[in-house]
Every structure is written in C-alpha cells, then in structure tokens.
Chain A
Amino acid sequence: MLNTLIFKELKLEFRTKETMLSMFLLGIILSFLFSISIENVKQEFVIVYFWIIIFMISSLGLYRSYQNEKNLDSFNLMLSSPVDPSIIFISKVVSFFIQIFIVQIFLFPIFILFFKLNLTISYEVVFLTLVTNWYISSLGNIIGGITLRSNRNEMIIPILLFPFSAPILLAIIRATEGVIGNYSFYDFSNWIFIIITSSIVVFILGIWAYYDIIKE
C-alpha cells in the first residue's frame, strides 16, 4: 500500500511537474537576488543563503502539493478508503522528500555558478542534507495537513513552517560549516544531534497526529 501511494504521488508530480518546477524556478530567482545584491560573499554565508532558499521554496512546494489534493476532493478518496492514515503520511513525507532532493540537485549547480563556489561535497554534507530534508518534509506535511481544510493555506503554511524550522536552520548551517571547515566532530556534534532528534520527533508526531489533522 505504501508503494502504491508513493508511486501515485511521484507519478502525478512527474507528469505535471508543477510542484518541482515552481520550487526550482523560485529557487533560481532567489539565488539570483541574493548573489546579485551581495558582493564578495564568504563561503560560510553561502550555506546560509542556500538553506534559507530551500526553506522558502519548500513552503511553496507544500502549498502546491496540498492544493492538488484539494481539487475535486481527491484527498477524501484516501480518507474513505481502508488505508492506515499513518501510511498516507509516510507516503507524502517520502514523496516530498524525493521532490525536494531532486530540486536541490538541480539548484545546487546554479548556486555554485552564481556564487562562484569552490567546494567539494562530502558524504557527511549529503547525509546532513538528507536528514534536514526529512525534517522539512515531515514538518511540512503536518502543517500541510493542518491547512488542508483552510482557505488561507498559502498564508498559514510559511507562518507555521518557518518558526518551527528556525532551530534546524541554525543546526544545519553550523553542522555544514563544521564539516566543510574540517572542525573537530565534537565542535559540531550538538548540531547533528539537534537535526536528527528533531527529524525523529516530528516524524513520530506526524504519524500520531495525521489522522485527526486531515479529517474535515
């Protein structure tokens, strides 16, 4: 059942490319604005801009993703079926996680180009990126579910998403700096602990809460 749901999400998205394309385009526009307005950017600030852009495009992506479910009451089809709601949540988290990772893969070369970056991507940075994406996806789908039945979800999604994401934004920036700057592991292990703990807590909370959140 999980495979069916994930496949359906990804099939729909790859067919329309609405969500990923809008996230990617907004990402390019924001990268352009940041790079053109700031001269001689230090490498550590580029990480800050990158992650702020990722969080901002995620709010757009989540809005689009749940807007598609509101059309023609598609979401109620899953609610009225004999499907465990936690499976619905996990499928949405996995599919948005994949979408955001694909957007990052395409956005990062543009970022390197605009900011003239000179860095090598290590496995640790990829791992941290994936865990942070998981947090964004879990939290985002909880918030998307909360705003699903609201008629102002484009307004409420960023207002809820960004404050909850503030600690993770700090953590991923510091952890990435630590990895790229070859600091001692103990200097940034706190940040990694925060990212991993938050991702697990929010994911478990989503599994528990999703059924109550998504009903009308």
Chain B
Amino acid sequence: MTSLKNKNFLDNSFNKLTFWLAISFAFINVILIITSSSSLIKLYGQENYARWIFYYHVPIAWNAGVCFILAGFNSFLYLKTSKTKYDFRALSFAELGTLFGILILITGSFWAKSEWGVYWSWEARLTTTLILVLIYFGYFMIQKYGGAYEKTSINRSYISLMSTIMIPIIYYSVQFFKDEFQSHPSNGSYFVYGGLQIFFFSLLSFSLLLIFLHNYRVFHLNKNKESLK
C-alpha cells in the first residue's frame, strides 16, 4: 500500500470532484435560500423569518440520520471482517453524525422558538438526536481512553451497533412521553415555506457536503493513524 504521508487530499480526482461539487452546490444553496427567504418575509412577515431554517434543518437531520445508521452498518462490517477501512468509515460517520446532530439541536432550537415560543421542547426527533449525541460522546471517550486502537475499535463498534439497534426504541419511547409539543410540522407544510425545489436542492447540497467531509476524514484517518493512539 503506497504511503499517504506525502499525498494531498486533492491529488485524487474523485476527491477533487467531491470537493468542488460540495463547494459549488453549497454556494448556490446559500444564494437560493437568502433570495427565497427574503420573498418569504414579504409573504409571511418578519416574525416567520426563522422558518427558512427548514432549508438547513431538515437536510442536516437527513445527514445526521444517514451518518448514525451508516456508522452502525460500518461497525457491523468491521466486526465481521476486521478490516480497518470499515472502522475508519464508521468513525468518520460517527464524528459527522455527532456534528450534524449538534447542528440539528441548535437549528431546531431556533425553529422551535418560532413555532412553539420556546427554544427547547421534548419533541421526539430532537430528543432522540440528543440521546444519540450523548451516546456518541461516550463512543469518543472510549476511543480516547479505552486503550490501544485494536481494542477500542472493537468496543466502539459494539457501542455504535447498539445505538443503531436502539434508535427505534429511543424514538418510540420519547414519542409516547410528552403530550405537549408533539406537533412536528408534517411534510405537506414544506409547501408553506415556498420552494420545494429549493428544499430538494438543499438536501442534495448537504448530501454532497457529507460525501466530501466523509472522504476528507477517511483520507486523513488513513494518513494520520497515529492520531488514533
């Protein structure tokens, strides 16, 4: 296997493609959202400005969900095959899932303030995300303090797998819990915010961003294995 020590991430054409696609789509996305939100303000008034957060909030939530599930799936593959590449992928998805999860909690709080008048509610999806983020904090503690890489990789894989298996249980337990703040806007109400096309473009843009970030992270994990000691 050729050493990655002297290689740059952008030396590879696929990496270059993911980088430029992510950057360009993100740039167009920002412009589209700003222009559409100004028309939303004209339509619905200043107090509904926070609703544009949906163009970010849902794609971020989509990314986080994909990351958490793929982290569990790659962990399962690592346990089955013992190939380091699957563990690196799982670790990358775990980190990105945690990052996007924290972003959901932040963007969700702005949206909740505009929708329900409070920054935080025990809404099922938000609470599930919070619990998963907390679990993955434990995952990273195992990576940091659990011992040699060969040992922590196995332990982390089981934690990731367990959290993926527990997602439905966590989600349904929280959904039954609180009576108030149950109403998470349904898919139909995206039309209210205008621009279903913008929403799907945003979803695509964030997906490309996820692919780029994941590639970038895996590249650096392979290049700097010492960082995992």
Contacts and interface: CB of A to CB of B under 8 A. Distances in A.
B131 interface: yes
B141 A166 contact: no
Interface in A170-216: 170-171, 174, 190-191, 194, 197-198, 201-202, 205, 209, 212-213, 216
Contacts of A194: 169, 172-173
Given A164-B135, A190-B172, A146 B159 contact: yes
B135 A160 contact: yes
B158 A212 contact: yes
Report whether over half of chain A's contact residues are helix, strand or loop; otherwise say mixed.
helix
Nearest to A145: B155
Contacts of A197: 169
Given A149-B147, A150-B147, A164-B135, A155 B141 contact: yes
A168 B221 CA distance: 36
Interface residues of B, number: 29
A167 interface: yes
B28 interface: no
Contacts of A191: 173, 176
Contacts of A146: 142, 146, 155, 158-159
Contacts of B113: none
A159 B141 contact: yes
A212 B157 CA distance: 11
A156 B174 contact: no
Nearest to A171: B173
A158 to B, nearest CB: 9
A42 B66 CA distance: 42
Interface of B: 79, 131-132, 134-135, 137-138, 141-142, 145-147, 151, 154-155, 158-159, 161-163, 165-166, 169-170, 172-174, 176-177
5 contacts: A146-B159, A150-B145, A152-B145, A160-B135, A213-B158
